[in-house]
Amino acid sequence: MPLDQNTDLSDDALLLLYANGDEAAARTLTLRLAPRAYAQAYRMLGVAAEAEDVAQDAMMRVWKIAPEWRSGEAKVTTWLYRVTSNLCTDRLRQRRGTSLDAIDEPIDPSPSADDVLQSTARQDALQNALMELPVRQRQAVVLRHIEELPNPEIAEKMEISVEAVESLTSRGKRALAKILKGRKAALGFEGETQ
Amino acid sequence: MSDDVDLDKLFKDASRTPPEPSPDFLARVLSDGLAHQPAAKGVMSAPVKKRSRFAQFFDELGETIGGWPTLAGLATATIAGVYIGVSPPESLSVPFDAAFGEVTSLSDALDLGDGFDFTQYEG
């Protein structure tokens, strides 16, 4: 990232610099944290516009907490993950309140350049299948298999035990396999070795 | 094809191509960050209280002549002068008489000679 000039600094140090008025730190934090929050929100919500809203809101909380941030007490990324997760849960709850059908809406069909790049048929199918999982299973599966985090770190982020993580990922993966079994054509696996 | 193979491949693809936010989104986030950024330390200033003209006059006077210690000394000297003028202590008349004798006017005291009168200098 060409604009990320402070790549060797920790998130804690960047927050401190930001709180002391360093504009470069604001840029670096944006480039480092906002895409993470967005990706997490997108995986949980399945709609780009909503994911951007949630990620922007989560980042706003980063800016506001910066002056009070205590280095070493918690990881910035873990804190941000929880904030984003809570905001996503609120969104999903609101959706449930407005329309039961809205939960399983397909992913955002808006034809932006980024969407075209990222939305291959397989990824769409995976995202749609993820959206059919219960929220906690979805979170655990995304963190374990897509973010490729170790179970203890997932447990810390989700504030549950490692055993609970294992259970969630295992059930989530089974449910995903079941959902995707009948969608081989959409996945483009029809002609592959059985 | 087993379900596991399908999923592993899908997960790997998803991991390699995370959903990327739009440049507009990043610009909005950065704009929020800069708008909410605390001012750099060292250039922050306390809010200045508005003072009345009367108070400002004494502030400026105090600064000009050396602050409150000077003002206090000046006030003490003024009060002492007024007191001495109104009610001069006995001890003061002794050296005054010794210096000037029994005089009734400033001309006598200065002994300017006969015929001299301050009024001749008046226009």
Lowest-pLDDT choice from A2-6, A63-67, B17-21, B108-112: A2-6
ipTM: 0.77
Q: How many residues does chain B have?
A: 123
**Is B18 close to A123, i.e. CB distance below 8 A?**
no
Partners of residue A34 in chain B, C-beta under 8 Å: 21, 25-26, 29
Residue B114 has pLDDT above 80, yes or no: no
CA distance B74 to chain A (A): 47
pLDDT confidence band for A180 (50 / 70 / 90): confident
pLDDT in tens, B67-108: 777 778 888 888 888 877 777 776 666 666 666 666 555 556
- What's the whole-number mean pLDDT along residues A36-59? 94
Residue A157: the pLDDT is 86
Residue B50: the pLDDT is 67
pLDDT confidence band for A117 (50 / 70 / 90): very low
More confident call, A125 vs B93: A125
Could you tell me which chain A residue has the CA closest to the CA of B11? A146
As a whole number of angstroms, the distance between CA A38 and CA A75 comes to: 18
As a whole number of angstroms, the distance between CA A182 and CA A186 comes to: 9
Could you tell me which chain A residue has the CA closest to the CA of B1? A194
Lowest-pLDDT choice from A92-101, A113-122, B18-27: A113-122
**Is A187 close to B36, i.e. CB distance below 8 A?**
no
**Is A34 close to B11, i.e. CB distance below 8 A?**
no
Could you tell me which chain A residue has the CA closest to the CA of B8? A145
**Is A192 close to B1, i.e. CB distance below 8 A?**
yes
Partners of residue B38 in chain A, C-beta under 8 Å: 19-21, 66-67
For A26, which of B1, B28, B37 is closest by C-beta distance?
A: B37
Q: Scanning the structure block, which residue is given the tokens 């769409």?
A: A124
Residue B100: the pLDDT is 60
As a whole number of angstroms, the distance between CA B25 and CA A34 comes to: 9
